[in-house]
Amino acid sequence: MARMTAAQAAVEILKKEGVTHVFGLPGAAINPFYKAMETNGGLHHTLARHVEGASHMAEGYTRAKAGNIGVCIGTSGPAGTDMVTGLYSASADSIPILCITGQAPVSKLHKEDFQAVDIASIAKPLTKMAVTVMEAAQVPGTFQQAFHLMRSGRPGPVLIDLPIDVQMTEIEFDVETYSSLPVYKPAATRAQVSKALDLLESSSRPLIVSGGGVINADASALLVELAELTGVPVVPTLMGWGTIPDDHELNAGMVGLQTSHRYGNATMLEADFVLGIGNRWANRHTGDLETYTHGRTFVHVDIEPTQVGRVFAPDYGIVSDAKAALELFVEVARERRAANRLSDRTEWAESCRQRKRTLWRKTNFDITPIKPQRVYQEMNRAFGRDVRYVSTIGLSQIQAAQLLHVYKDRHWVNAGQAGPLGWTVPAALGVATAVPEETVVALSGDYDFQFMIEELAVGAQFNIPYIHVLVNNAYLGLIRQSQRGFDMDYCVQLSFDNVNAPELNGYGVDHVKVVEGLGCKAIRVFEPEEIAPALEKAKALAQEYRVPVVVEVILERVTNVSMGQSIANVTEFEELADGGADAPTAVFANLD
Ligand SMILES: Cc1ncc(C[n+]2csc(CCOP(=O)(O)OP(=O)(O)O)c2C)c(N)n1
Ligand SMILES: [Mg+2]
């Protein structure tokens, strides 16, 4: 046994649970925890410039690699409230992060002490556990329970709030014999999986919808195996994008109101059966439920029992971890195939491929100001199969999902449900910290980029290189487009005449100067043919200087992006592709 402060015990447990990196910033009430990190060593700390940034870094770090759990640390009061958006984002997308906050001493908690706020109550609806630890001897058990909860069932964040006196109190703690609590993951039974396959078998035009739960369960390979065994095409959701490569012959495209493909929606409308795995029927995926569900049989597999039936009643529900379910699905499907009991889906799959071969949007524009579609075409060419994309929200994110290609899971890292502006820079830093040898490319609109621009200094200070494509339309583009419904263009302009940068012609903020001021590199382009060389140069600069490199593309001010209220009624505002010359990188999504 060894005597140590409760904060030291917490630091040792983090290491035992596999934590190597933490993101945060100190303040008086969390200083004992920082002292413990300094004394005990073994944790690499990245100093954020804004506590919200630290929370998004933690989320990016978790999402980059199976098994990672990002940790963010802040002091009492405003540090905790700053991280609330990070907790929301993580809980909405079922991502575990551990948020540790300092707190006023236990005896002062009810005295309106300086920076004493009841963060545990504030964080409660956004976490699997949010607790102010009042007894130092409970610190080890609380951390042990936190990791158990984050990894069990539907993953999600936890907040542990540590009063300063609790952190400093000495306790007995045996690091050597510490061990993680068992993780609970419900698993489908053979009878359940057989019944689901019976339902699939009685359909003519089945689809699998593959959600983020497949990524969380690290089960993409099994998902692809099931598709190949049964010949059933797959629709990845936005959160499940990458679970089957875009160019896989059974990838039918994405479905939805915004982040979707024309061929994906058309295929869904043809389908008569849907097996959803690890997905949550998000409203921007389904759109109008009558259109989405009418005439189709649904089987829903999810790890969280209360998710089944939340959005609509499926014909059959299975509560299971995606990996546990897919292992059984593959096993039973293999047996049925050997016994010749699986239908031949060739004709249906071929009809899906035919839609995927033709229903494209045009990207090959060569006019100035640059049309955003051209940017994604150039990104497809520049970054290939191994790139990790990070994005948040806006017309930029929507169009990226319509036009970029993703080939591997965890290679599209997107704050899908919460969409908090500002997420992209810190999340990209978290991803790049987790996979330092890989190419990480973030994508932001100008407003998202300005929200947490200061975090770029973190990348410069700690040498976290990545490429940030900034598409600048000097507009809150997505909101401008949605204001068309109100016949207004009100409070959505980001344009102004910058007295220091007349060359920007009214586009407002001089991002290049700001980025350089923060210690990073930046390139600005105005012409379509400059995009490809700029992306190549960005790769070289990131290698040479080991800092974030921003490629700012000055876009046309107004682009309306394909979207609608129902998957049967997505409005196309732009020209559609008339063959491969109009969409030269769309062919990358087709093997045949
Ligand atoms: C914190 C927060 N406030 C407001 C919004 C609503 N919102 C969504 S997109 C958007 C504008 C985004 O503009 P920009 O980042 O420039 O992207 P664009 O649509 O122009 O590509 C706003 C205000 C949000 N998602 N998050
Ligand atoms: Mg914009």
Looking at domain 190-358, its CATH superfamily turns out to be: TPP-binding domain (3.40.50.1220)
Mean pLDDT (whole number) for 267-283: 98
E strand spans, 113-260: 129-132, 158-163, 170-172, 206-210, 234-236
- The residues with which 74 forms a beta bridge, in sequence order, are 101
Residue 425's alpha-carbon distances to 373, 420, 452, 499, 519, in angstroms, are: 22, 12, 7, 27, 14
Give the ligand 1 atom nearest the CA of 399: 21
Q: How confident is the model at residue 588 (pLDDT cuts 50, 70, 90)?
A: low
Nearest CA, atom 3, ligand 1:
421
pLDDT score at 1? 67
C-beta of residue 417 within 8 angstroms of C-beta of residue 93: yes
Mean pLDDT (whole number) for 104-126: 97
Q: What is the pLDDT of residues 458-474, one digit of tens each?
A: 999 999 999 999 999 99
Nearest CA, atom 13, ligand 1:
476
The whole-angstrom separation of Cα 586 and Cα 584 is 6
pLDDT score at 590? 52
Give the ligand 1 atom nearest the CA of 471: 21
**Three-state secondary-structure class, residue 567:** coil
Please give the distance, rounded to the nearest whole angstrom, from the Cα atom of residue 473 to the centre of ligand 2.
5
E strand spans, 93-220: 97-103, 129-132, 158-163, 170-172, 206-210
Residue 472's alpha-carbon distances to 443, 492, 504, 550, in angstroms, are: 11, 13, 11, 12
Please give the distance, rounded to the nearest whole angstrom, from the Cα atom of residue 444 to the centre of ligand 2.
8
Give the ligand 1 atom nearest the CA of 444: 15
Q: What is the pLDDT of residues 189-244, one digit of tens each?
A: 999 999 999 999 999 999 999 999 999 999 999 999 999 999 999 999 999 999 99
475 lines ligand 1 (CB under 6 A): yes
393 lines ligand 1 (CB under 6 A): yes
Is it the case that residue 99 has pLDDT exceeding 60? yes
The whole-angstrom separation of Cα 399 and Cα 325 is 33
The whole-angstrom separation of Cα 474 and Cα 49 is 25
The whole-angstrom separation of Cα 582 and Cα 180 is 55
Q: What is the DSSP string of 513-545?
A: HHHHHTT-EEEEE-SGGGHHHHHHHHHHHHHHH
Domain map (residue ranges) of the chain: 2-173, 190-358, 372-561
Is it the case that residue 52 has pLDDT exceeding 70? yes
Is it the case that residue 97 has pLDDT exceeding 50? yes
447 lines ligand 1 (CB under 6 A): yes
**CATH no. of 372-561:** 3.40.50.970
* Locus of tokens 């090959």: 364
Spacing of C-alpha 379 from chain mean position: 19
508 lines ligand 1 (CB under 6 A): no
Give the whole-number percent of the chain exceeding pLDDT 90. 98
E strand spans, 94-146: 97-103, 129-132
| 480 residue type, one letter | R
Q: What is the pLDDT of residues 137-190, one digit of tens each?
A: 999 999 999 999 999 999 999 999 999 999 999 999 999 999 999 999 999 999
Scanning 243-345, the segments in alpha helix (DSSP H) are 262-270, 283-286, 289-293, 322-338
The whole-angstrom separation of Cα 94 and Cα 427 is 15
Q: What is the torsional sign of CA 468, 86, 139, 177? A: negative
* Locus of tokens 């932001």: 444
What would you report as the CA-atom Rg of the chain, rounded to the nearest whole angstrom?
Answer: 25
The whole-angstrom separation of Cα 248 and Cα 239 is 18
The whole-angstrom separation of Cα 531 and Cα 267 is 33
The whole-angstrom separation of Cα 561 and Cα 573 is 6
Q: What is the pLDDT of residues 488-538, one digit of tens each?
A: 999 999 999 999 999 999 999 999 999 999 999 999 999 999 999 999 999
What pTM, to 2 d.p., does this model score? 0.98
Please give the distance, rounded to the nearest whole angstrom, from the Cα atom of residue 484 to the centre of ligand 2.
16
pLDDT score at 592? 42
Q: 460-469: buried (b, 16+ CB within 10 Å) or exposed (e) per residue?
A: bebebbbbbb
Give the ligand 1 atom nearest the CA of 478: 19
Strand-pair category, 412-414 with 316-319: unpaired
Q: What is the pLDDT of residues 62-87, one digit of tens each?
A: 999 999 999 999 999 999 999 999 99
478 lines ligand 1 (CB under 6 A): yes
C-beta of residue 530 within 8 angstroms of C-beta of residue 367: no
Is it the case that residue 591 has pLDDT exceeding 50? no
| 578 residue type, one letter | D
Q: Give the number of other Cβ atoms within 10 Å of residue 328's Cβ.
A: 22
Please give the distance, rounded to the nearest whole angstrom, from the Cα atom of residue 476 to the centre of ligand 2.
5
Please give the distance, rounded to the nearest whole angstrom, from the Cα atom of residue 451 to the centre of ligand 2.
12
C-beta of residue 521 within 8 angstroms of C-beta of residue 547: yes
Sheet holding 297-302, edge to edge: 234-236, 206-210, 273-277, 297-302, 316-319
Q: What is the pLDDT of residues 39-51, one digit of tens each?
A: 999 999 999 999 9
476 lines ligand 1 (CB under 6 A): yes
Of 50, 89, 396, 421, the one to substitute when testing ligand 1's pocket (max ligand atoms within 8 A of C-beta) is 421
Please give the distance, rounded to the nearest whole angstrom, from the Cα atom of residue 444 to the centre of ligand 1.
10
Mean pLDDT (whole number) for 472-480: 98
Residue 32's alpha-carbon distances to 144, 503, 592, in angstroms, are: 20, 50, 61
Average pLDDT of the chain is 97
List, as ranges, residues with CB under 5 A of the ion ligand 2. Answer: 445-446, 473, 475, 477
Please give the distance, rounded to the nearest whole angstrom, from the Cα atom of residue 432 to the centre of ligand 1.
24
First to last CA, the chain: 64
Q: How confident is the model at residue 589 (pLDDT cuts 50, 70, 90)?
A: low
| 140 residue type, one letter | P
The reply to whether 190-358 shares the fold of 2-173 is yes
pLDDT score at 4? 98
Q: What is the DSSP string of 376-437?
A: HHHHHHHHTTT-EEEE-SSHHHHHHHHH----STTSEEE-TTT--TT-HHHHHHHHHHHSTT
Q: Give the fold, CATH level 3, of 2-173.
A: Rossmann fold (3.40.50)
